[in-house]
Structure 1
Amino acid sequence: MKDLSKFECYDNLIVNPLEEMGWICDQVPWDTNKLIDWDQYDSVIIRSTWNYQENFLKFINVLKEINSSSADLQNPIDIVEWNLNKQYLKDFENKNIKIVPSQWFNNFIPKEIIQSFLNFNSKKIIIKPCISANADYTYILEEKTALSKLNTLKKDFIDKEFIIQPFIQDIKNEGEYSLIYFGNTLSHVLLKTPKVGDFRVQEEHGGTLKSIINPEQALIRFGKNVINKLPRACLYSRVDIVRNKNEFLLMEVELIEPSLYFNMDSKSSKKFVEVFNKWDA
């Protein structure tokens, strides 16, 4: 994207390792108004396209242009289209991966929103679009005040598919784990925690990051099980996991433009480039 000034972006950390391997690197905004000759590139890696949800049809059309060129697109367009809508979580649930309990909606019907509190036996719920990034249009609703907020929320969700989930208290108590994979190999693990008074773990919303040097084996096994059940192997993947009542649940699998947090592991940039070189061979 053209303007990254409001985001924490670490993709520059892979440029030198790529150049050391003989690659010439350009950073091309997907939302540029300029015509791009994608045939001039050997490979195009999707990175910090963190505004695609604002015009996802245009985003997909740009990827189709790249896909029809001689450049190799990573991750592949079929994976991007599948991962674009959070309904992909149903596929994991059907493969016996435990996900955060979820309800899916095509229409904003207030009484159905209120019913979600009962369905989940929860005093707090999270509502977010099925196509979203950066926690945009992601809200927490409390049962005692939900009715007063529905009219405002309706403006944001009237034309969107959306998902409702119970609020997982352990996100505040412990945080959200991110497991980063290059190919099918785990590179590094971090714990993201929200700032006091918030529930969003992204840095842009005040969240903090902590490297997990020795992640527990149950977490590693859970993440590997998710990776093994992807539709296909991917150059890069980020698996976001939360703990709830002493069991791990899948929050999201990020295969389009996740931050890969190269800043949190000094070896991760070189590990990524090594996998990329083999991937592109």
Structure 2
Amino acid sequence: MTRIAVLTPDPADPSYSGQWPGVLERLTRALTQADVQAEPTPWTQHVEDASGLEAYPLILPVLVWGYHRAHPLWLRACETWRAADLPLANPASVLGWNSDKRYLARLAERGVPLPATRWVERATPEVVADAFARTGAEQLVVKPTVSGGAWKTLRLSPGQAMTDPPTGAAMIQPYLPSIQTEGETSLLFFGGRFSHAVNKRPVGGDFRIQVQFGGQYAPVQPDADALALADRVLAAIDEPLLYARVDMARDGDAWKLMEAELIEPDFYLGHDPAAGAGFARAVRERLDA
């Protein structure tokens, strides 16, 4: 059995301690189908020195949840891994740029449709008021460009005070009503091949679709337009990706990209009809290449 490394959260960060072990178990179970043994190790133990990872033929950073709260450390780790030429999948360079949502602006420049987005160095009340005036939106979503799991993400109405707002660079978008009615859809790709899709809906008037906020998930068959958008996103990224999760939502009649998750996305293997077989095959192919 081939031993590979799976990078996991900082042991000092308890935020996801109730969630990531279950995700690791699903990943491990899937990988055994490809004769692969996943060995977990915290990413924070390899920031300055990559030697503890050099023996592995493949390193998956798929459980580094919480890195956004230590972003400078994360970028330093990515540079250490890149300089050491570690067999990371996805590549260390991707792990760096994908950690800041300003990559979405670059994808938009390459023709990928996004919700109308304003990028600001700080989301002050004045900046938010101006965004309301310019867009005419009934509600806005404000979130840090470095974030995860809806961390410091706000949904605001005109004149509403911001509680615990982002303190640095932020993005501002009109809130898409379809999030409430249709939810967000995630398309999973392994080795460049479409695997499965999951629809995620908020509950109880919330706007956050994450499971920790009560989000409800269900497998779904994406339509041709959703698949076409995902293909367009991956073509615009044009990197050697082992895995990708493309999150999208409807803006009127058109699908718009919300995020391209290339670092530590939950693959929702519990909703995958093949139980992760596509992921395991992509890992095996990478190892055998």
The Cα shift of 1:14 comes to 2.7
2:270 partner letter: N
Task: Tell me what 2:19 maps to.
Answer: 7
Candidates 206, 231, 236, aligned match of 2:238: 231
Equivalent residue number for residue 169 of structure 1: 177
Deviates more, 1:100-109 or 1:24-33: 24-33
Report the alpha carbon displacement of residue 20 of structure 1 after superposing the two structures with TM: 4.5
RMSD: 2.0
1:197 offset after TM fit, Å? 1.5
Offset of residue 266 of structure 1: 3.5
1:18 aligned counterpart, secondary structure:
helix
Task: Assess, with a 3 A threshold, how the Cα gap between structure 1 residues 252 and 17 changes in structure 2: closer, same or farther.
Answer: closer
Partner Cα distance (1:80, 1:69) in 2: 15
Cα distance change on mapping 1:226 and 1:33 into 2, 3 Å: closer
The change in CA–CA distance for 1:45 and 1:195 in structure 2 (over 3 A counts) is same
Question: Secondary structure of 1:187's partner?
Answer: strand
Aligned pairs for 1:139-150 within 5 A: 139-143=154-158, 145-146=159-160, 149-150=161-162
4+ runs of 1 displaced by more than 6 Å?
A: 33-36
Equivalent residue for 1:241? Answer: 248
Give the match for residue 62 of structure 1. 77
Which of 178, 202, 205 is the aligned partner of 2:210? 202
Gaps of 5+ in 1: none
Equivalent pair of 1:39/1:70 in contact (CA under 8 Å)? no
Mapped to 1, the partners of 2:205 and 2:32 lie a distance apart of 43
Aligned residue pairs, count: 273
Query: 2:127 corresponds to which residue?
Result: 112
More deviation, 161-170/39-48: 39-48
Q: Which moved more, 1:20-29 or 1:121-130?
A: 20-29
CA distance in 2, matches of 1:172, 1:164: 18
The correspondence for 2:57, drawn from 29, 42, 46, is 42
Per-residue deviation at 1:65?
Answer: 3.2
The CA deviation at 1:133 is 0.5
Q: Select which of 144, 148, 151 maps to 1:133.
A: 148
Deviations 1:255-278 (A, max 9, x none): 011111111114141211111121
Separation in structure 2 between the aligned mates of residue 123 and residue 195 of structure 1, nearest angstrom: 20
Q: Give the TM-score taking structure 1 as reference length.
A: 0.90
Q: 2-side partners of 1:183 and 1:43: how far apart?
A: 14
Residue from 227, 252, 257 that aligns with 1:250? 257
1:64 maps to amino acid:
E
1:157 to 152, 166, 169: 166
- The amino acid of 2:166's aligned partner reads F
Q: Which residue type is aligned with residue 76 of structure 1? A: P
TM-score by length of 2: 0.88
Q: Percent identity?
A: 25
Cα displacement string for residues 26-49 of structure 1 (whole angstroms, at most 9, x for unaligned residues):
111213499771122221101121
Residues 86 and 130 of structure 1 are in contact (CA less than 8 Å); yes or no, is this contact kept in structure 2?
yes
Instruction: State the match for 1:192 in structure 2.
Output: 200
Which of 14, 29, 38 aligns to 1:16? It is 29
- 8 Å Cα contact 2:23/2:266 also seen in 1: yes
Q: Is the 8 A contact 1:42 1:70 kept in 2?
A: no
Residue 176 of structure 2 aligns with an amino acid whose one-letter code is I
Quote the residue 1:87 is aligned against: 102
In 2, Cα distance between equivalents of 1:142 and 1:83: 29
Q: Which moved more, 1:8-17 or 1:268-277?
A: 8-17
Partner Cα distance (2:116, 2:254) in 1: 13
